[in-house]
Amino acid sequence: MRRVGAIATWTSAALLLLTACGGGGAGDADSAGGPVKVGVLTSLSGAAAAHYADTESGVKARFAAYKAAGGKCAARGFDVVMADDQSTPQGALTAAQRLVQQENVYAVLPVSTYFYGAGQYAGTQASATPFLGGAFDGGEQWFDPKYGNLFPAMSGTDYDRAATTLGAYWKKLGGTKVAVVAYNTPSSAKAAEGAAVSAEHAGLARGYVNERVPFGSGDVGPIVLGIKKSGADVLYAPVIPETGFALATGLRRAGVKMKSILLATGYGADLLKSPPTLKAAQGVGFMTSYAPVETDTKATAAWSAALKQYAKSASGIPSFSQAVGWISADLLLHGLEKAGCTASRKQLMAALRTDDSWTAGGLFPQPADFAHKGTYSVGGPGDCTFVSVLKGATFVPDPAASPACGEQISGVKVSVK
């Protein structure tokens, strides 16, 4: 089973479940009466809870901003119900069952590292309920063609594929040899290997490769030495930020000058709150599938302002969980507007499955493709990723990746030896 496992455990966002009341039942929005009932499945307890703390605020901020803007379906109103996955796959299953069977939610927006534990249930017994959310758990449910009720609001990465995106990005930076470091989990290891394949496709040599690091390991000394000996000048590490920062610090101390140190996660307000972390993360690049607020577009400026106003964010920079909460809620709103504010669940899913216009309000550079599952291997729609480099206490968008987009490398199936 594909699982983001290690990476998303510390950086991912919560699961939204959005539901509506109506003639078809308490959760079914097939009449104009009553608010849309919203369920949010996330880690409220357990090891991942601290990293999902802002999900609810992200969800509610999107609905509040939608109401303030006089959105087409705003008059319905939205009731949010939180559900705890307890930072375990079994907890995710139990929480999803409660939301669907007891709370009778209109839709589920799964934004949870552990959602793969509920994946089969979601696609079979709960197939009449739309699931819209972050697909970074890497569960096979997101790619199963029989599960027509699952819609990835973010990610949806197929780790068996590789894209030209990262290789072309490093080539622009003058990179010549790539190093990749990953945990010994399927998703982390395949993400790293896909990046190595992308680099080779762009003409970079393969340098240091370690796709078997124990999760959370702080012993990076041998890895740093290996990178130095290999002569690699760009590094991709789909690991938790703590491990990534240890690598960056070790490389600096070893006198290794890298043209790029790139982490799959870590962008957001959480990082800026810790002075020691700020010091360790200097010069590190962070990937996001959505435009960072520092790009200062009309869409990101409105997003940042809304987070300040409705999520009480001091900086207006979203944490990862806040971002996924917001974007997942936005997908539901988009679906309701397309299908009709009183649409049934079935009508909502039919409208989304054929839609090719959703860009999360301009936060994605290309629209999502819900007709084809697992269509990207890096970043988000269009195999696009933004890179923000930390300089001082500011995330600075990298001009070479604002965004960097690519295409699938044909004839390649990523495998880890």
Contact 18, 105 (CB under 8 A): yes
* 278-291: average pLDDT: 95
pLDDT at 1 over 80: no
SS3 81: strand
* 190-201: average pLDDT: 95
How confident is residue 187, by pLDDT bands cut at 50, 70 and 90? confident
**pLDDT tens string 405-417:** 999 999 888 888 7
Other C-beta atoms closer than 10 Å to the C-beta of 367 total 14
Contact 360, 349 (CB under 8 A): no
- Which residue from 116, 100, 118 is spatially nearest to 108, judged by alpha carbons? 100
Residue 217's pLDDT is what? 76
Single-letter code of the amino acid located at 337: E
pLDDT at 164 over 60: yes
Q: Percent helix, strand and coil across the chain, each rounded to 5?
A: 40, 20, 45
Specify the range with the lowest mean pLDDT, choosing from 49-63, 189-203, 353-367, 373-387.
373-387
**pLDDT tens string 329-344:** 999 999 999 999 999 9
pLDDT at 184 over 50: yes
- Which residue from 65, 29, 68 is spatially nearest to 308, judged by alpha carbons? 65
**pLDDT higher for 1 or 136?**
136
**pLDDT tens string 14-46:** 333 233 333 333 445 444 468 999 899 999 999
pLDDT at 260 over 70: yes
**pLDDT tens string 203-228:** 999 999 999 998 777 789 999 999 99
- pTM, whole model, 2 decimals? 0.87
How confident is residue 374, by pLDDT bands cut at 50, 70 and 90? low
Residue spans of alpha helices (H) in 133-287 = 165-172, 186-201, 221-230, 241-253, 269-272, 275-280
**Gap between the Cα atoms of 128 and 120, Å rounded:** 13
Residue 9's pLDDT is what? 36
* 110-129: average pLDDT: 94
The pairing of beta strand 15-18 with beta strand 36-42: antiparallel
Ordered domains of the chain (ranges, CATH): 6-155+297-353 (3.40.50.2300), 165-288+385-401 (3.40.50.2300)
**Gap between the Cα atoms of 375 and 45, Å rounded:** 33
Task: Please return the burial class of 206, using the count of CB atoms within 10 Å of its CB with bins 0-12, 13-18 and 19+.
Answer: middle
